[in-house]
Amino acid sequence: MQGHLNDLQQRAQKKWEQLEGEALTVRIGTPTCGRAAGALDTLQDFRERIEKEGVEAHIIEVGCMGLCFAEPLVIIHKPKSGLPPILYGFITQQHVQRLVEGFLLGDDPCLELALGTVEFKEDGTPYIPELARFEIEERLVLRNCGYIDPLDIGHYLARGGYLTLQRALQMEPDAIILEIERAKLRGRGGAGFSTARKWRGCREIEARPKYLICNADEGDPGAFMDRVVLESDPHSVIEGMVIAAHVIGASQGFVYTRAEYPLVIERLKVALSQAREIGALGENIFDSGLSFDIELVAGAGAFVCGESTAMIYSIEGKRPMPRVRPPRSVERGLWQKPTVVNNVKTFALVQRIMEQGGERFSRIGTVGSTGTAVFALAGRVQQIGLVEVPMGTSLRKVIFDVGGGIPEGRRFKAVQIGGPAGGCLPESSLDLPVDYDSLRQAGAIMGSGGMICLDENNCMVETARYFLDFLCRESCGKCSMGRLVTKQMLLILEDIVKGQGTEADLDLLAALAHDVAEGTICNLCSSAANPTLTTLRYFRAEYEAHVKEKRCPALICRELITYYIVPEQCERGCDHCVLTCPTEAITTDERTRRKRILQDKCVKCGTCLDVCPPEYRAVIKVSPPEKVKELEKAAGG
């Protein structure tokens, strides 16, 4: 059986080398976000044109390289041209013909469409030297993402896949734990608990059977790291899971993912059956005596299932309401049996650590938080996408050097880290190193790695309201503290954004937030306070503007703003706003052709502002709403 894997591996490698060394390859990223950008049309078009032109080229569907801002992404490698693989960005259907005729058929590499060339580090990790972000990034989890075909286990094997598992299965479980300990790996789900300690705790318990769960229930809105890893490199997670199963002595594993991620489910199913075929799952894995299989469980849309005790109830088919610990899940977990729950990225990292050694891993990052952190960078930032940097990298570097800063010259206002349970950090926190402990001190958490940038056009009070609304909908409702305090806080915030808050509300809000942080039974509601507390702490002036002046400085809170057309700037012949207004709230003065908004008909949807040609910029928002009367008076007079 061992020979069997080595055979497979060698064959895969040979095929890969042929592919890399001789063949003309076109890699197209088709993860969920790529698809939203039209990657499937690009793919289809490439297929058709290549067939029509009779080009001998391999089309490879790959996952996500993290450069989501430039999707659809295409990598073309034409060894005959003597050029390294070239990465092209924003390749929608209209560019396909140019690439096929220019580069595939001709000698023109179409550099005007290129983002850079793909080079490889010693360990085979691809990087793009032309993009400054790759100087800062260190890709361990994302090593294969966007370069291999996730549906072809051969690609994974060719890059050394499952050899680490084969070696690990011959090791004593305690030796593996020592290696993980040497790496000082902390769980990537957000709490940052020592992985080695968790595993040892479970290993030492006698009861059988034992279960292993991969937490892929990435419920934090604004986070998509786990989705990308599972869509782009599922085998690294499976390999990490089997290593863990060997260590703790688990016989059955589960990947619990979200129903909202259909592509993850589809690709994982394929990957699991491929792993079974090569004997990496099932009975007597690689002749080691270990029997272990993985079942895929799709959640059904409940944020709280990301909490491990709730997830366990969900797998059991019960209402997923978190329970109080102790007993911990490693003692009494799934069906009351010892259970280890780890995050997707933790398993991927276990595979890397066992391949490259714990020592090497521990040298990356900081003393307390080793290795790398994967962030999903989104919101008001130029280069939206996935980022993997050494722990301890400053927020400024991540947002401005990797992410390219805030678009359209607007000002950075805050970064929201760690999902609804995390916090909003202001500009003054930008030099904070991102690691478990620094973030916690600042009032945020690492969470699973969502990082949403907010700029001057985002209202922090409204942001706090948004997160509380989310948590109120998604909390389990079991304990009075969680159920009622969060709802009360939401009611207050809803009033504040409507201009119906008072200064006393701010104190009540803070008091409630402190209470809920301390008095609830699980981490979901106790961390519900974080967005409110951090915004109150760092952006109090914005709250005060809402309650004292009934004004929204960011011009977002609908009840506190009005739209106004500046007469001097209105190009009178242009009817864009009039034609697109969904409620016919814009009138044209017969004589002057000036446009005016009928405030009682306006629903404040913002369409007129969107469609007003940028050379006029005649539509503005004003706050407080009454201000529009002054403006109208001044204009009329």
Partner 1 sequence: MAKEHSVDIIIDGKQVRAEAGEKILWAALSAGIEIPHLCAIEEADPPLGTCSLCLVEVEGRGVVASCVEPVSEGMVVHTRGRGSALRRRAMELLLADHPMTCKECPKKGKCEFLKVARAMKVKRPTHYRPFARVELPVDTSHPRIIFDPNQCIRCGRCLWVCKERLGEVPFDFINKGYEMCISTFMSRPLAETSCTGCGACVEVCPVAALCLKEQA
Partner 2 sequence: MTGELLDSYPAQRHSLLRILQAVQQTEGHLSEEALAAVARHLKISAAEVYGVATFYNQFRFIPYGKHHVVACLGTACHAMGGQLILDAFERELDVKAGGITGDHEWSLDRVGCIGCCTKAPVVVINDVIHARMTPFKVEEVLAVLGFKKSKKEENAGAGASQ
By CB under 8 A, name the binding residues for partner 1: 302, 304, 319, 321, 323-324, 326, 471-481, 483-488, 491-492, 495, 508, 512, 515, 518-521
**Residues in Cβ contact with 277 at an 8 Å cutoff, skipping those fewer than 6 apart:** 153
State which residue, 183 or 315, has the beta carbon closest to partner 2.
Answer: 315
133, 210, 227, 550: which one contacts partner 2 (CB under 8 A)? 227
CB 585 within 8 A of CB 562: no
The kind and range of the H/E element at 611 are helix 607-611
Residue 481 interacts with which of partner 1, partner 2, none, CB < 5 to 8 Å by class: partner 1
69, 127, 286, 563: which one contacts partner 2 (CB under 8 A)? 69
470, 539, 563, 564: which one contacts partner 2 (CB under 8 A)? 470
d(CA 31, CA 593): 49
114, 481, 611, 631: which one contacts partner 2 (CB under 8 A)? 611
DSSP 3-state of 387: strand
Residue 520 interacts with which of partner 2, partner 1, none, CB < 5 to 8 Å by class: partner 1
Residue 232 interacts with which of partner 2, partner 1, none, CB < 5 to 8 Å by class: none
State which residue, 101 or 505, has the beta carbon closest to partner 1.
Answer: 505
Residue 567 interacts with which of partner 1, partner 2, none, CB < 5 to 8 Å by class: none
Rounded-to-5 percentages of helix, strand, coil across the chain: 45, 15, 40
Residue 450 interacts with which of partner 1, partner 2, none, CB < 5 to 8 Å by class: partner 2
Minimum distance from residue 533 beta carbon to partner 1 (Å)? 16
User: Terminus-to-terminus CA distance in the chain, angstroms?
Assistant: 90
**Residue 209, interface with partner 2 (CB under 8 A)?**
no
Q: Kindly indicate which of the ranges 7-15, 152-160, 497-505, 579-587 contains the residues binding partner 2, using the contact rule CB under 8 A.
A: 579-587
Residue 299 interacts with which of partner 1, partner 2, none, CB < 5 to 8 Å by class: partner 2
Output DSSP code: residue 323.
Answer: -
Q: Kindly indicate which of the ranges 86-94, 106-114, 316-324, 496-504 contains the residues binding partner 2, using the contact rule CB under 8 A.
A: 316-324
**Residues in Cβ contact with 637 at an 8 Å cutoff, skipping those fewer than 6 apart:** none
Counting Cα atoms < 13 Å in the Cβ hemisphere of 401 gives: 16
CB 527 within 8 A of CB 445: yes
Q: Footprint of partner 2 on residues 259-288 (CB under 8 A)?
A: 259-262
Residue 147 interacts with which of partner 1, partner 2, none, CB < 5 to 8 Å by class: none
45, 138, 179, 218: which one contacts partner 2 (CB under 8 A)? 218
CB 438 within 8 A of CB 428: no
State which residue, 288 or 488, has the beta carbon closest to partner 1.
Answer: 488
CB atoms within 10 A of CB 117: 18
Beta pairing, strands 586-588 & 595-597: antiparallel
Task: Output the DSSP codes for 235-278.
Answer: HHHHHHHHHHHHHHT-SEEEEEE-TT-HHHHHHHHHHHHHHHHT
29, 299, 322, 405: which one contacts partner 2 (CB under 8 A)? 299
The phi, psi pair for 85, rounded to 5°, reads -55, 140
State which residue, 185 or 398, has the beta carbon closest to partner 2.
Answer: 398
Torsion angle (degrees, nearest 10) of CA 179, 181, 185, 189: 110
**Residue 586, interface with partner 2 (CB under 8 A)?**
no
Q: Footprint of partner 2 on residues 442-461 (CB under 8 A)?
A: 450, 452, 454, 458
Residue 411: burial class (beta carbons within 10 Å; 0-12, 13-18, 19+): exposed
Beta pairing, strands 339-343 & 211-216: parallel
**Residue 307, interface with partner 2 (CB under 8 A)?**
no
Residue with tokens 């497979």: 8
Integer CA distances (angstroms), 204 to 150, 199, 244, 328, 374, in order:
35, 9, 14, 14, 31
**Residue 314, interface with partner 2 (CB under 8 A)?**
yes
Minimum distance from residue 37 beta carbon to partner 2 (Å)? 6
CB 589 within 8 A of CB 557: no
State which residue, 248 or 513, has the beta carbon closest to partner 1.
Answer: 513
24, 142, 214, 297: which one contacts partner 2 (CB under 8 A)? 297
**Residue 337, interface with partner 2 (CB under 8 A)?**
no
**Residue 91, interface with partner 2 (CB under 8 A)?**
no
State which residue, 401 or 515, has the beta carbon closest to partner 1.
Answer: 515
The kind and range of the H/E element at 596 are strand 595-597
Q: Footprint of partner 2 on residues 500-519 (CB under 8 A)?
A: none
Binding positions for partner 2, rule: CB under 8 A: 32-33, 35-37, 68-69, 71, 218-224, 227, 258-262, 297-303, 314-320, 376, 378-380, 384-385, 416, 419-420, 450, 452, 454, 458, 463, 466-467, 470, 473-474, 580, 582-584, 603, 605-607, 610-611
